[in-house]
Structure 1
C-alpha cells in the first residue's frame, strides 16, 4: 500500500513539474492542465486509498486527475480564446494561477474625463463578450482605475462610472448579470508612477478580472 501510494505521489509531482514555454512571453512555466491533473491525482489517491486500499488509491488517482485537469484545461482554453480574439487590440491578457486579467488602456476605451465607451472599442468588448458566453463559469469583476490628477473623489466617481459602463455593455451583450460585479478604485491601485505622463497613461485603465467559481 505504501509503495503504491509512493509511486502515485511521485508520478503526480512529476506531472505537476512538467514545463512548457509560454508562446507570448518566452518564459518557462508549469503547464496549467498538467499541474491541476497532478494535484488532483495525488488528492484522489489519498482519499481513495484510505477508503478502499490499493485499488481505491488507483481509482481515486484517475478520477482526481481528470477532475483536477478539467478546470485547468477550461482556463487554458479560455485564455487561448481571449488571446486570439484580442490580439492587436491593445488589450493585455494576463494569467495568474486560476485568474485571468484583461487590462484595457483608458486611451482606447474612453475619452478624457468621460465614462462613455468609445465607439471604436465596442467591437473589442464584443469579442470579450463572445468568449465570456462560451466560457460561462467565471465570475466577472470589472474595475475602473484613474491616475492621481484631480481630486480623489472625482477620480473615484469617474472610475466607478467607467467600470459600470463596461459591465453594462457586457450585460447588454448577453452576459448574465449575476456573474458581473463592478467598482471604481480611482487612483488607489497604480501600476506605474503618477509623476510622469507615461505612468499616468498606464494607470488610466479598466480591468476585467475573471475568477473561478466559488466552489473551486
Structure 2
C-alpha cells in the first residue's frame, strides 16, 4: 500500500476514534459530518482493518508482479494515473459513481443505493453496465492494485454489518474478475460500520455510508 493510501485510511480512522468533526465530504465537497455523526469505533477494530489492508496490499503487489503484470517506473506514475482518472471520469459520468483523485491514488465511491438492494449482497442488474465500464479501464491500464472495500451504515449489529460489507466488496471484486481483470491485482476487505462519510441520522446519510470503494494505486518496484 502506498504511503498516501495508508495515510488516507489512517486519518479517517483517527477521526472516528476521536469523534472529531469532519466538515467536508471527500466526494461531494459538502459540509456533512459532526461529532455525533461519526460515532465511537473501537481502536482495536480500526487498527485491525488498516493492518489487514496493508498486509493484503503488499501480498497483492508481489502476486501481480509475479504474474507478469509489471510495474510503473517511479517517474511515470503521475502521468499513468492521470490518464486513468480521465478515462474513468468519461466512462462513469452520470452513473452516480464519484471519481476522486488524491495524489496518485484514484478512488471510486459506489453508493449502496445504486449497487445493492437494502441488506443484500446481490449486485443490482442495472449496475452491471457501470462495472463493465470500470473493468474496461482496469484492463487497459493493468499496472495498478485494485483495493475493494465495503462499508455499511450503523444500523444493525456490528457482526452483521461486517459480514455484509465483506460480502458486498467480494461481489464487486468477483464481478470485475469475471470481466477479465486479473485476480492477482485485487485486495478485498469489509470494514463494516466504520469510516462514515455522512451522518447516520438521516436516510440520505445512511445511504451514502452504505458503499463500496475501489482504490487504484500504481504497482511500482
* Common fold by TM > 0.5: yes
* Corresponding position of 1:171: 177
From 145, 156, 166, the counterpart of 1:150: 156
* Corresponding position of 2:219: 213
Name the one with the larger helix percent: 1
Query: Residues 161-191 of structure 1, C-alpha deviation per residue, up to 9 Å, x if partnerless?
Result: 0000000001110011110111111111111
Query: Residues 57-101 of structure 1, C-alpha deviation per residue, up to 9 Å, x if partnerless?
Result: xxxxxxxxxx66522111111000000000000000000011000
Say what the alpha-carbon RMSD is for the aligned residues: 1.4
Residue 71 (1) aligns with residue 77 (2): yes
Runs of 4+ in 1 over 4 A off after TM superposition: none
From 73, 92, 96, the counterpart of 1:90: 96
Q: Distance between the aligned counterparts of 1:93 and 1:196, measured in 2? A: 24
* Corresponding position of 2:140: 134
Aligned length: 150
Deviation, structure 1 residue 122: 0.3
Secondary structure of 2:164's partner?
helix
Residue 109 (1) aligns with residue 115 (2): yes
Secondary structure of 1:183's partner?
strand
Q: Distance between the aligned counterparts of 1:121 and 1:109, measured in 2? A: 6
Q: Distance between the aligned counterparts of 1:71 and 1:191, measured in 2? A: 28
Flag structure 1 segments of 5+ consecutive residues without an equivalent. 1-24, 26-66
Q: Distance between the aligned counterparts of 1:144 and 1:68, measured in 2? A: 30
From 113, 124, 145, the counterpart of 1:118: 124
Flag structure 2 segments of 5+ consecutive residues without an equivalent. 1-27, 29-72
Deviation, structure 1 residue 154: 0.2
Q: Distance between the aligned counterparts of 1:134 and 1:155, measured in 2? A: 34
Q: Distance between the aligned counterparts of 1:68 and 1:169, measured in 2? A: 30
Secondary structure of 1:198's partner?
helix
Deviation, structure 1 residue 113: 0.7
| Structure 2 length-normalised TM | 0.66
Secondary structure of 2:191's partner?
strand
Query: Which shows bigger deviation, 183-192 or 77-86?
Result: 183-192
